[in-house]
Amino acid sequence: MLDFDSGKEGRNMSIISGLMGNAAKTDIDEVKKDYGKLLGEHEEIIQAYQWVRDLMIFTDYRLLLVDVQGATGKKVDYHSIPYKSIRHFAVESAGHFDLDAELKIWVAGLGADPLVYTFSKDADVYKVQALLAECVGR
């Protein structure tokens, strides 16, 4: 298993990155507290990334996408993607003048277009890619 830290980055950096449309690593303990009800009996959260209100949660079984909708945030879509359904993924690192990096995920049954997620430059998209590679390779 790869060694990823607990994700206790400064809250302000996460908020700023989120406002710019970029994901930043978030505190796993907070994610467990808020979204533990979505996990299976023996399922564990490995890592999580957060935009302003949306989340990408890596568990040991699946990729869980939390899409908070509307101005009030009362409507929430939870998308569960088993790792075996991920057919292809790619990362585009941030260049010298870029502020972000992208992760693209092609999922079986969702058509030809990938899911695209933007990460802050300091989120280390290579660690995200390594984590996804490990999870898909199981």
Q: What is the CATH number of the domain that holds 59?
A: 2.30.29.50
d(CA 138, CA 135): 6
pLDDT greater at residue 42 or residue 15: 42
pLDDT greater at residue 63 or residue 22: 63
For the whole model, what pTM was predicted? 0.76
E strands, the chain, where?
A: 24-25, 45-50, 55-59, 62-69, 75-82, 86-92, 100-107, 115-120
Q: In this structure, is residue 1 part of a structural domain?
A: no
Tens of pLDDT, residue by residue over 43-68, are 999 999 887 778 899 999 999 999 88
Instruction: Please tell me the predicted confidence (pLDDT) of residue 5.
Output: 33
Q: In this structure, is residue 77 part of a structural domain?
A: yes
Tens of pLDDT, residue by residue over 58-95, are 999 999 999 888 777 788 999 999 999 999 999 887 77
Tens of pLDDT, residue by residue over 1-16, are 332 333 333 333 333 3
Place of tokens 């092609």: 106
Q: In this structure, is residue 5 part of a structural domain?
A: no
Specify whether the CB–CB gap between 105 and 114 falls below 8 A.
yes
Specify whether the CB–CB gap between 5 and 36 falls below 8 A.
no
| Residue 86: domain span | 11-136
Q: In this structure, is residue 33 part of a structural domain?
A: yes
For all residues of the chain together, what is the average pLDDT? Answer: 79
Instruction: Please tell me the predicted confidence (pLDDT) of residue 11.
Output: 33
Q: In this structure, is residue 128 part of a structural domain?
A: yes
How many CB atoms sit inside 10 A of residue 104's CB? Answer: 14
Structural domains in the chain (count)? 1
Residue 114 DSSP symbol: P
d(CA 135, CA 61): 8
Instruction: Please tell me the predicted confidence (pLDDT) of residue 101.
Output: 83
Q: In this structure, is residue 3 part of a structural domain?
A: no
Tens of pLDDT, residue by residue over 91-138, are 887 777 667 788 899 999 988 999 988 877 666 778 888 999 999 988
How many CB atoms sit inside 10 A of residue 91's CB? Answer: 15
Q: In this structure, is residue 6 part of a structural domain?
A: no
Q: In this structure, is residue 2 part of a structural domain?
A: no
